[in-house]
Amino acid sequence: MNTKENIFQRLLAFLKKKALSFKKNANIVRELVKKNIKVQYRNSVIGALWTVLNPLLNMLVMFFVFSVVLNYGSEKTYALYILCGNIMFSFVRASTTQSLPSIVHNRGLLTKNKISQFVFPIANNLGAVVNFAFSSIALLGVMAVVSIIAKQSFFSFNLLLVFLMLPALFLFSYGLSLILAALYVFFRDIQHFYNVFLTLWTYLTPVFWKVGNVLDSKESDTQAMALFIKPMLRLIVHANPMYHFVTYFRDIAYGCVENGVSVWQTFPLLGTLYLIGLIFAGIGTLIFSLTRSKFIYYI
Amino acid sequence: MEEKNLTQETEIATAPSQIDDTIIEVSDVSMEFFTRDEKIDNLKELFVRLLKGKAKRKVVRVLNNVSFSVKKGESIGLIGHNGAGKSTLLKLIAEIYKPTKGTVKVRGKVAPLLNLGAGFDPESSAKENVYLNGAILGYSRKEIAKKYEEIVEFAELGEYMHIPIKNFSSGMVARLGFAIAIDVNPDILLVDEILSVGDENFRKKCARKVNELREKGVTFVIVSHNMGQVKSLCQKAIWIENSEVMAYGDVNEVCEKYQKYCNEQKI
């Protein structure tokens, strides 16, 4: 009886301690997110409005280059196609590039206070969620314009599925952030490597080009193309987690309405997204947890 | 059987009072670091060293079998030459480092005041830094908001709170750091060399506040080269030299031994 009570009490004390440290870390994360957003737009005249304008301007540049100059993507929803791809990719790009040096850059805080190392990648990824919310305003604006031009309303309740997709995106980006932040502590050349990789990744993800146009066209195929390069490309495209994320986002934003497809058909893809997210978050947490006690000696 | 029960009960009865009294317990702690020139921080170097078979770790022992305990309300001074391991010991108590060997047990809220501007973000304003540091010390935004005026008043930085910390003078940063640390009601305050910064008036104000807090039962662990300060603030002292504890006990005795040693070294 005694021992039972003892175990119960200890469990209670343990949970209480965990809850306290969770509350403390949540407070730190909130302050960090606020700080990051404030620092980002300090000394700028229009401030947070940039978060809305940024994806919009990026989209206009790409739209001009590909649709107007190169005559690629002539359909009316091409502007939405680019914008959706851009919003998704900048979420991952911003959160991972900020997280990569976050442990090293916050050495001032880490070497002088007892803080959980996890708060920095979490804060950066939550900051990306905030930016995503602002970008959605730009998306709604462009959707309105495209709806008027195409004389077809693309607004639907499918858009609410964004709230189901975001956690998966967060998990994926957070997991990748953890891996990069931990690696950077020990190997500083990861930053250069990742910058080059990001450029490659941007082009391998169908942000402005269309998978169908590249993989399914049979017009100018040589034998080598048909036998070797195309299957390779197909493999690379499908192995790219971002491909699935941008595809899903486009489907729920306008694709299902445009093609008259029921949104239920996209649910298996949502499952894939969660699988990707959980795998990355799992690997990231594992690597980060195993190495974080050593961070302090290398930063 | 009965006897056994009795002893168990007495153990249970005495255990809490023992724990309640001791607020810091450092037992048999050793701390080791890798030396800086052997540190590999990029892949290229790692490959080169692996090829050469030189990726071995070179270890430096900073603390060797250090043991002591501090009771609640007691203050302790850490003295010794530069590089003796005092700051490392402070970071072990702050749970920033984990000891290589031995255990460090600390009960209660610890406010570390290590060096100037401990953990301030230079790009953020003083106000934002107060909230961030408050959160790091375990306070919610509401709780810090209540203390905010008090902190600003103590630091005497009223009109500068919206300026980024990077534009502050070192004295201003120290004032802000001290004001935050004492206002969060810590049980243990770790102080590394910072009581000797700021102008004369602020130093006096700090000394008054430190005495006030000591009377309230706050435990101080102070690293200082100023023997007068250590003697006036602490009951006990630890003298660390070459990673070993040379003397531990009454502050006057330890300081005397240390000063004698210093004098001998000079000759």
A199-243 pLDDT per residue, tens:
999 999 999 888 877 777 666 667 777 778 888 888 999 999 999
User: Inter-chain contact B96–A110, Cβ cutoff 8 Å?
Assistant: yes
Write the DSSP symbol of residue B102: E
Confidence of residue A108 (pLDDT cuts 50, 70, 90): confident
Residue A126 lies in a domain: yes
Task: Report which of residues A194 and B42 the model is more confident about.
Answer: A194
The count of other CB atoms within 10 Å of the CB of residue A78 is: 18
Angle of CA points B108, B110, B111, to nearest 5° = 150
* pLDDT reported for residue B198: 66
Across the interface, whether the CB atoms of A297 and B112 are under 8 A apart is answered: no
**Residue type for position B76:** I
Residue-level pLDDT at B159: 86
Residue of A nearest to B138 (CA): A24
Contact A91, A171 (CB under 8 A): no
Query: What confidence category does residue B14 fall into, taking pLDDT thresholds of 50, 70 and 90?
Result: very low
For domain B2-108+187-266, say whether CATH 3.40.50.300 is its number.
yes
- State the DSSP H helix or E strand holding residue B66, giving kind and residue range, or none if neither: strand B59-71
Mean pLDDT for A123-128 is: 94
Least confident window among A108-112, A180-184, B46-50, B168-172: B46-50
Chain B residue nearest residue A185, CA to CA? B41
Strand order, beta sheet including B75-79: B110-114, B188-192, B219-223, B75-79, B236-241, B244-250
Whole-number pLDDT of residue A234:
87
Query: What does the pLDDT average to over B125-132?
Result: 89
pLDDT above 70 (res A196): yes
Is residue A94 in a domain?
yes
**What pLDDT, on a 0 to 100 scale, did the predictor assign at position B11?**
42
Q: What is the pLDDT of residue A185?
A: 93
Residues of B in contact with A190 (CB under 8 A): 43
Q: Give the side-chain half-sphere CA count within 13 A for A213.
A: 7
pLDDT in tens, B54-80: 556 677 888 888 898 888 888 899 998
Is B106 a residue whose pLDDT tops 70? yes
The model's confidence at residue A260, banded by pLDDT at 50, 70 and 90, is confident
Cβ contact (<8 Å) for A35 and B128? yes
The pLDDT, as a whole number, for residue B13 is: 41
Judge whether B124 is closer than 8 Å to chain A, CB to CB: yes
Residues of A in contact with B41 (CB under 8 A): 186-188, 298
pLDDT of residue A230: 82
Distance CA B143, CA B163 (A): 23
> What is the predicted pLDDT for the residue at B224?
84
Least confident of A29-33, A211-215, B192-196, B252-256: B192-196
Please check the confidence at residue A114 and state whether its pLDDT lies above 90: no
Cα separation, A231 vs A224, whole angstroms: 10
SS3 B251: helix
Burial of A168 (0-12, 13-18, 19+ CB in 10 A): buried
10 Å Cβ neighbour count for A46?
9
A170: containing domain: 27-205+240-295
**Whole-angstrom Cα distance, residue B265 to residue A240?**
67
Interface test with B, best of A6, A34, A43, A113 (most B CBs within 10 A): A113
Q: Confidence band (pLDDT; 50, 70, 90) for A103?
A: very high
Q: Which of A1-5, A81-85, A95-99 has the lowest mean pLDDT?
A: A1-5
- Altogether, the residues listed in chain B come to a count of 267
Helices (runs of H) and strands (runs of E) counted in chain A: 14, 0
pLDDT of amino acid B2: 41
- Looking at per-residue confidence, does A86 or B120 come out higher? A86
- B241: confidence class by pLDDT, cuts 50, 70, 90: confident
Confidence of residue B197 (pLDDT cuts 50, 70, 90): low
Most confident of A117-126, A204-213, B161-170: A117-126
Find the CB nearest A188 among B41, B118, B139: B41
Q: Across all residues in chain A, what is the average pLDDT?
A: 89
> What tens digit of pLDDT does each residue of A24-59 get?
899 999 999 988 888 777 777 777 788 888 889 988
Tally the domains of chain A. Answer: 1
Quick one: pLDDT band at residue A167, thresholds 50, 70, 90? very high
Instruction: Using CA coordinates, name the residue in chain A closest to B93.
Output: A114
Chain B closest CA to A116's CA: distance in Å?
10
CA distance B61 to B243: 7
